[in-house]
Amino acid sequence: MHGLLDQLALPSLQTIWTYHIVQASTIALLIFLGFIVLGILVRKYAFPRLEELVKKSGSDYDDKLLAAFYGPAQWLIFILGFYFALRYLPLSADTDLLVLNLFRTLIIILIAWGLYSLTDTDSPLAQELQRKFDLDAIITGFFSKTARFVLIALVLVVIAQEWGYDVNGFIAGLGLGGLAFALAAKDILANIFGGIVIILEKPFVSGDWITTNTIDGVVETITFRTTRIRGFDESLILVPNATLANESITNNTRRGKRRVSFYLQISYESTREQIQQCVDRIKAMLENHPDVHPETIMVYFEHFNDSSLGIKVYFFTVTTVWAEYLAVREDVNLKIIEILENIGVNIAFPSQSVYIEKMPPQNNNTGK
């Protein structure tokens, strides 16, 4: 009798359990399909409406934030539907924990996806920051890569902690490894920081003609480690950025004018009137010269030298281009020579005069 009852009860329990599984699976499937429909409706109606509201805010940052998280938000609806559908199924405790960890991991990845999009050099936010703070594209790219590297490292650490891994030793190892790398690559890091200083302060940019204590040429490219400079003899010079950051740099391209300073040495045979005429005519010539900057022109008789009289000539050229500057100097020099010839003044050269006050008597003794 008991055996017959057991045989009758067992199929009933199996039927109930099967019915429960089918019912739960059906509801889970409906939940998942409902979230899919919700995602379609949100993408078709909610997001366009939200974009209109964001555009009316008057700020560009919320537009860029919405653009960065547009993709992750759509996937979030799908993941939520998948999570709630699985949670409705009669799963074991271990499976429930696995589903929960998987859900948290996917949420972390979605957040990281949005932040990763915000740190892209081509992202609207990065372009806006570059325009607002006048950042160089190299600096923007460097900060973007650094932020992305840090973001990926943090995401990996957080995900590892979610799955129960001990990351303390890993973080300590990274710290020691970073210290060892910094000590081993201190010269490289010095050049990188020197490059950052050059790019941020912008003492020169590509195409500028610069002069330091050791180099003279035109800047071709600026990288984080070195600066490529093309010399006037067509030689290519690679200068470490740490060296440039610690040197005095003259940016000849940014000059508004170029200085000319020299002494005109005339002979001591020149009279006072001739010296005054030289000073007046040279100054008048410079004041009327179209390529001489009118702001600062100085011509003065200044020195009594050992073998010459020194007239100080000091002025600036309008142009800063090297070839044009030399052409102006040549024209000014030729005009000065013409002035000296008209006045009758000679250019002095190093010489020494010997004056004999008394000649020694000649010996006329012929030996007789």
Q: What is the pLDDT of residue 12?
A: 56
Higher pLDDT, 309 or 142: 309
Higher pLDDT, 67 or 298: 298
In whole angstroms, give the CA distance from residue 31 to residue 306: 106
Higher pLDDT, 263 or 61: 263
Higher pLDDT, 136 or 75: 75
- Statement: residue 282 has pLDDT above 50: yes
Q: What is the pLDDT of residue 170?
A: 62
Q: What is the pLDDT of residue 333?
A: 95
117: closest CA among 163, 67, 161? 67
Mean pLDDT, range 233-255, rounded to an integer: 82
Mean pLDDT, range 172-199, rounded to an integer: 63
* Two structure tokens written together for 315: 């002025």
- Statement: residue 117 has pLDDT above 60: yes
- Statement: residue 9 has pLDDT above 60: no
In whole angstroms, give the CA distance from residue 254 to residue 257: 9
Q: What is the pLDDT of residue 167?
A: 67
The per-residue pLDDT of the chain, averaged, comes to 78
CB 348 within 8 A of CB 265: yes
Most confidently modeled range among 96-105, 106-115, 325-334: 325-334
Q: How confident is the model at residue 330 (pLDDT cuts 50, 70, 90)?
A: very high
Q: What is the pLDDT of residue 132?
A: 62
Single pTM value for the model: 0.51
Contacts with 254 (C-beta within 8 Å, 6 or more apart), sequence order = 208
- Statement: residue 184 has pLDDT above 60: no
- Statement: residue 281 has pLDDT above 90: yes
CB 283 within 8 A of CB 297: yes
- Statement: residue 150 has pLDDT above 60: yes
Q: What is the pLDDT of residue 127?
A: 66
Mean pLDDT, range 210-225, rounded to an integer: 84
- Statement: residue 366 has pLDDT above 60: no
- Statement: residue 368 has pLDDT above 50: no
